[in-house]
């Protein structure tokens, strides 16, 4: 169980022959993820870690059943790879690549919405349902099976929070990164909704950062539709100056919008517990779950 | 990294290719050229400083003249002077457009709807953020479906909502379509004309044009890519150096240098530092899976900021290996002689090896982020 992926998930890897693609295919396989095929145009017929490689997504899907794809293609080709995955009928597409042009992201995100496909990313560390399936590049040893759903806009900071959870004896139902680019697919609101309906999730940790208004929309959602599980929000970037990108393309305060203060205020007014530091997340959830 | 801004004259050169109605203008880099330009235009002129900072008009960067001699005098004052910290090296001498009304027309990226939105208002000429706060009803907004793109009738809808009919309806719709085409062609992150002037005769003219290009798209705009690397106007020297090495680095005001792996983790480090009463000197993220060379590059850039008294390295290794990080730290100490104290937090992949390497070199390291940040703040207050 958990959300988005579980032990039944069967995935393909796009650009499985690249450095990142082949390296992480190996790690995902050793975690137990069912990688059934790889795709790299022009490299059909090869094998990577025992996984057969095809020239096109359609060819791969003619030979194998799959429901998800993980994309490692370079940024200039992400749009086409994502559209190919959507066109092939896959229902979940995880995009690891960072720095996808916004104009490209608009196109495949709208196409995905029209076709009822979930996109996670771009610029995400991926999704992991501990002990079941990992579609991503996160270090698996950090994650433990448990009841906390974790949704975040960053990578390493999520690992920091999960380490804290582990020290408090808390594990994760599913942990996912929404992605650090300015335009990404899956939203906090959608993740909260999925965690709400997941039987294995007892509580949720939301890790946000400056830029955009995804956190404000999540707060609004919690405010209007009462959230039945303990929820803690941790938002970083209080010390970020306006107009500067803080590492992620999406982490930027534009004029007066996208500040950490505005996001924290929104969560407070929705009655959501706020973590000041990474370790507060575990402490607060521990208290709430007792 | 930041979106790439174009100078007004560059934006207008692009706008010409899209047949936007622009005032006639000439670029001048000397006062003599400014006089010549004003003579050629043969009309009252606007002399406009070519700078990238916003709020140019309010800061005195746009002056109006009625004679070529006046243009010469004003150019002499403006050229070489500072406007909000930016040196003026070029002026755009432009014919003055008689004004009946000032409009705003802009294309922005709506992050939550993941599309371009058109923003227009008949309350132009001022900061549009202010208008949207004080009089949101004065703004007409329309989201554009990126798959079907902007349709002609949608542009006419907008013109009608702004109150234009007849020939003006068609003229304005055509300007909206052209601005949209330009935005899409150049991967605009923000494209706006403010003010878009309506003349007493009922004509329109884009008196100002601003373009910000999405820097993730620069690979398909090779001319601008080259420019982006050369452009130093907005970046401090260390930010420039970091950019060349593809490190995410932002300079701040404090005295504790910060290096880490992951944007979120580094932001969290800065926040925590403030919480403990310390002041970060910078944001610096070397990303995932860094080699020891990349680690030492990052540390060297941070340390070369004179304001830095203490260095804090915060690493949670996933695809980043702690032994590589330790190797990078030791390499910097070797090269620079380690005059500034360092506080290291190192956990994750290969952390035991990494910590042992540091201990052998006499460097203490922490496992907890809180302890490391507290220690750095404490040391900074003593130095």
Distance (Å, rounded) from C-alpha B242 to C-alpha B248?
7
Residue B348 forms contact with A (CB below 8 Å)? yes
Residues B212, B119, single domain; the answer is yes
Is there a domain that residue B230 lies in? no
Closest-CA residue in chain A for B148? A107
* Helix B152-161 × helix B166-185 angle, to 10°: 120
Q: Considering A120, A151, A182, which residue would you say is the last residue of a domain?
A: A120
State the smallest CA–CA distance between residue B265 and chain A in angstroms. Answer: 4
Closest-CA residue in chain B for A114? B147
Q: What is the pLDDT of residue B306?
A: 92
Query: How sure is the predictor about B165, in pLDDT bands with cuts at 50, 70 and 90?
Result: very high
Distance (Å, rounded) from C-alpha B240 to C-alpha B253?
17
Is there a domain that residue A225 lies in? yes
**pLDDT one-digit tens code per residue, B279-299:** 999 999 998 888 999 999 999
Which distant-in-sequence residues (6+ apart) come within 8 Å of B310 by Cβ?
B255, B256, B257, B340, B341, B342, B343, B376, B379, B380, B383
In whole angstroms, how far apart are CA A18 and each of A13, A28, A137, B159, B370?
10, 15, 14, 50, 38
Interface test with B, best of A102, A208, A243, A274 (most B CBs within 10 A): A102
Residues B249, B323, single domain; the answer is yes
Q: What is the pLDDT of residue B1?
A: 44
Query: How sure is the predictor about B2, in pLDDT bands with cuts at 50, 70 and 90?
Result: low
CA pseudo-torsion sign B237, B238, B241, B243 = negative
In which domain, by residue range, is A258 found?
138-289
Q: What is the pLDDT of residue B237?
A: 79
Distance (Å, rounded) from C-alpha B56 to C-alpha B81?
13
Q: Which residues of B touch A240 (CB under 8 A)?
A: 250, 267, 270, 283
Q: What is the pLDDT of residue A118?
A: 98
Helical H segments across chain B, by residue range: 8-17, 31-41, 68-78, 128-134, 152-161, 166-185, 222-230, 237-244, 263-275, 292-303, 322-336, 351-360, 369-382
Residues A113, A159, single domain; the answer is no
Residues B263, B369, single domain; the answer is yes
Residues B368, B245, single domain; the answer is yes
Residues A46, A100, single domain; the answer is yes
Q: Is A149 helix (H, G, I), strand (E, B) or coil?
A: strand
Q: Considering A90, A120, A150, which residue would you say is the last residue of a domain?
A: A120
Helical H segments across chain A, by residue range: 19-31, 57-63, 78-87, 102-114, 156-167, 188-197, 214-224, 260-269, 278-289
**Roughly how many angstroms between the first and final C-alpha of chain B, as a whole number?**
32
Q: What is the pLDDT of residue B54?
A: 79
Q: How many domains does chain B have?
A: 3
Query: Six-digit token pair at A186?
Result: 């899956």
Q: How many domains does chain A have?
A: 2
Residues A272, A156, single domain; the answer is yes
Residues B184, B91, single domain; the answer is no
Share of chain B above pLDDT 70, in %: 97
B104: annotated active-site residue:
yes
Residues A78/A84, Cβ–Cβ less than 8 Å: no
**pLDDT one-digit tens code per residue, B185-232:** 999 999 999 999 999 999 999 999 999 999 899 999 988 887 776 665
Residues A262, A156, single domain; the answer is yes
Sequence length of chain A is 290
Residues A100, A209, single domain; the answer is no
State the smallest CA–CA distance between residue A27 and chain B in angstroms. Answer: 11
CA pseudo-torsion sign A170, A171, A174, A178 = positive
Q: Considering B225, B250, B281, which residue would you say is the last residue of a domain?
A: B225
Q: Which residues of B touch A245 (CB under 8 A)?
A: 1-2, 248, 250
Q: What is the pLDDT of residue B243?
A: 81
Is there a domain that residue A147 lies in? yes
Residues A285, A142, single domain; the answer is yes
Distance (Å, rounded) from C-alpha A120 to C-alpha A127?
8
What string of DSSP letters covers B107-149?
EEEETTTTEEEEEEESS-SS-HHHHHHH-GGGEEEEEE-TTT-
Is there a domain that residue B134 lies in? yes
Q: What are the catalytic residues of A?
A: 248
B261/A245 Cβ within 8 A: no
Is there a domain that residue B195 lies in? yes
Query: Six-digit token pair at A236?
Result: 């970083």
Residue B114 forms contact with A (CB below 8 Å)? yes
B192: annotated active-site residue:
yes
What backbone phi and psi angles, to 5 degrees, belong to A251?
Answer: -90, 80
Closest CA to A180 of A158, A163, A160: A158
What backbone phi and psi angles, to 5 degrees, belong to A70?
Answer: -120, 130
For residue A99, the domain's CATH number is 3.40.50.720
pLDDT along chain A (290 residues), means of 10: 95 96 96 98 97 98 98 97 98 96 98 98 97 95 95 94 94 97 97 98 97 95 94 96 86 84 96 96 94
Among residues B70, B123, B192, B374, the one annotated as catalytic is: B192
Q: Please report the residues numbered 217 through 246 in chain B whose beta carbons come closer than 8 angstroms to any beta carbon of chain A.
A: 217, 219-220
Residue B262 forms contact with A (CB below 8 Å)? yes
Among residues B72, B104, B164, B180, the one annotated as catalytic is: B104
Query: How sure is the predictor about B234, in pLDDT bands with cuts at 50, 70 and 90?
Result: low
In which domain, by residue range, is B350 found?
237-382
**pLDDT one-digit tens code per residue, B90-101:** 999 999 999 999
Residues A261, A150, single domain; the answer is yes
Q: Considering B225, B254, B280, which residue would you say is the last residue of a domain?
A: B225
Q: Residue B105: is its pLDDT beyond 60?
A: yes
Residues A151, A251, single domain; the answer is yes
Average pLDDT, integer, range B343-361: 93
């Amino acid at each position: 169980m958990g959300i988005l992926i579980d032990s039944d998930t069967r995935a393909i890897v796009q650009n499985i022959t690249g450095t990142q693609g082949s390296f992480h295919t190996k790690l995902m396989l050793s975690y137990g993820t069912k990688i059934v095929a790889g795709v790299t145009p022009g490299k059909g017929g090869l094998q990577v870690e025992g996984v057969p490689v095809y020239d096109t997504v359609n060819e791969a899907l003619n030979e194998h059943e799959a429901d998800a794809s993980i994309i490692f293609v370079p940024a200039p080709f992400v749009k086409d790879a994502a559209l190919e995955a959507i066109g092939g009928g896959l229902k979940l597409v995880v995009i690891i690549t960072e720095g996808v042009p916004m104009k490209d992201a608009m196109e495949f995100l709208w196409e995905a919405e029209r076709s009822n496909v979930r996109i996670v990313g771009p610029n995400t560390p991926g999704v992991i349902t501990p002990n079941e399936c990992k579609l991503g590049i996160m270090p698996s040893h950090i994650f433990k099976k448990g009841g906390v759903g974790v949704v975040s806009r960053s990578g390493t900071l999520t690992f920091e929070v999960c380490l804290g959870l582990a020290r408090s004896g808390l594990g994760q139902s599913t942990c996912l990164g929404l992605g650090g680019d300015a335009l990404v697919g899956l939203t906090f609101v959608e993740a909260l909704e999925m965690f709400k309906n997941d039987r294995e999730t007892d509580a949720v940790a939301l890790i946000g950062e400056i830029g955009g208004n995804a956190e404000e929309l999540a707060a609004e959602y919690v405010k209007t539709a009462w959230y039945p599980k303990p929820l803690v929000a941790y938002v970083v970037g209080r010390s970020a100056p306006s107009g500067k990108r803080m590492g992620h393309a999406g982490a930027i305060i534009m004029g007066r919008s996208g500040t950490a203060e505005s996001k924290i205020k929104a969560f407070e007014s929705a009655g959501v517990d706020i973590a000041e530091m990474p370790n507060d997340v575990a402490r607060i959830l521990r208290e709430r779950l007792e | 990294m930041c979106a790439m801004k174009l100078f007004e004259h560059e934006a207008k050169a692009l706008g010409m290719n899209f047949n936007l109605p622009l005032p006639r203008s000439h670029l001048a880099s000397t006062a003599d050229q400014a006089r010549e330009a004003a003579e050629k235009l043969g009309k009252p002129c606007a002399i406009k400083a070519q700078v990238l900072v916003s709020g140019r008009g309010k800061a005195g960067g746009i002056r109006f003249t009625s004679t070529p001699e006046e243009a010469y005098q004003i150019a002499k004052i403006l050229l070489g002077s500072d406007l909000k910290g930016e040196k003026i090296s070029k002026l755009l001498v432009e014919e003055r457009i008689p004004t009946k009304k000032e409009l705003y027309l802009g294309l922005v990226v709506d992050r939550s709807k993941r599309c371009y939105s058109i923003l227009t208002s008949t309350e132009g000429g001022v900061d549009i953020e202010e208008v949207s706060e004080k009089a949101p009803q004065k703004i007409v907004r329309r989201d554009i479906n990126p798959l079907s793109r902007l349709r002609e009738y949608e542009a006419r809808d907008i013109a009608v909502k702004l109150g234009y009919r007849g020939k003006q309806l068609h003229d304005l719709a055509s300007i909206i379509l052209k601005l949209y085409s330009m935005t899409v062609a150049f991967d605009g992150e923000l494209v706006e004309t403010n003010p878009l002037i309506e003349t007493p005769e009922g004509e329109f003219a884009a008196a100002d044009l601003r373009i910000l290009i999405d820097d993730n798209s620069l690979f398909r705009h090779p001319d601008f890519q080259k420019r982006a690397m050369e452009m130093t106007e907005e970046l401090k020297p260390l930010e420039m150096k970091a950019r060349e090495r593809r490190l995410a680095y932002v300079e701040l005001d404090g005295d504790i240098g910060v290096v880490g792996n992951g944007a979120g983790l580094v932001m969290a480090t800065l926040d925590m530092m403030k919480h403990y009463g310390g002041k970060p000197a910078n944001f610096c993220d070397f990303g995932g899976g860094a080699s020891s060379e990349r680690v030492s590059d990052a540390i060297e850039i941070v340390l070369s900021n004179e304001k830095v008294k203490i260095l804090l390295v915060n690493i949670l290794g996933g695809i980043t290996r702690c032994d590589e990080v330790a190797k990078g730290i030791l390499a910097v100490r070797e090269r620079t002689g380690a005059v500034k104290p360092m506080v290291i937090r190192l956990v994750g992949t290969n952390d035991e090896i990494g910590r042992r390497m540091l201990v052998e070199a006499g460097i203490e390291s922490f496992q907890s982020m809180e302890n490391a940040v507290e220690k750095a703040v404490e040391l900074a207050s003593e130095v």
